[in-house]
Amino acid sequence: MRKIAASLGPRGMQLVRLAGASYRLARSHEPATAEHARRFLAQSMGRLKGLPQKVGQILSMADGASADTFAELTGNSEPLPFSVIEQVLAHEWRRPWREVLAELEPDGKAASLGQVHRGRLLSGEAVAIKVQYPGIAKAVQADLKMLGWLSLPLSGLGRQFNLAGYREEMLRDLLEELDYLHEADNQHQYDFLSRYQPGLVVPTVHGRLCTPRVLVCAWEEGATLAEAAQWPEPQRKAAARVFLEHALGFFRNGFIHADLHPGNFRFRQTPGGEVELLLYDFGCIFRAELNVRLALLRLIQITEENADADPYPLFVALGFKPDYLEPL
pLDDT over 70 (residue 214):
yes
pLDDT over 60 (residue 228):
yes
215 vs 208: CA distance, rounded Å: 10
Q: How confident is the model at residue 50 (pLDDT cuts 50, 70, 90)?
A: low
Q: How does DSSP assign 200-236, residue by residue? A: EE-PPB-GGG-BTTEEEEE----B-HHHHTTS-HHHH
Q: How confident is the model at residue 9 (pLDDT cuts 50, 70, 90)?
A: low
Looking at residue 172, its pLDDT comes to: 74
56 vs 45: CA distance, rounded Å: 7
Single-letter amino acid code for the residue at 322:
P
Looking at residue 78, its pLDDT comes to: 76
134 vs 142: CA distance, rounded Å: 14
228 vs 236: CA distance, rounded Å: 7
Least confident of 64-68, 124-128, 130-134, 281-285: 64-68
- Each residue's pLDDT tens digit, 236-245: 999 999 999 9
- Each residue's pLDDT tens digit, 75-87: 566 788 999 999 9
CB 71, CB 60: distance < 8 Å:
yes
- State mean pLDDT over 42-69: 61
DSSP β-bridge partners for residue 255: 287
Q: Which helix or strand (DSSP H or E) is residue 10 part of?
A: helix 8-27
Looking at residue 155, its pLDDT comes to: 45
Burial of 107 (0-12, 13-18, 19+ CB in 10 A): exposed
- Each residue's pLDDT tens digit, 89-140: 999 999 999 999 999 999 998 877 889 999 999 999 999 999 998 888 877 7
For residues 267 and 138, the model is more confident at 267
Mean residue pLDDT of the chain comes to: 81
pLDDT over 50 (residue 157):
no
Model confidence, pTM:
0.74
For residues 282 and 9, the model is more confident at 282
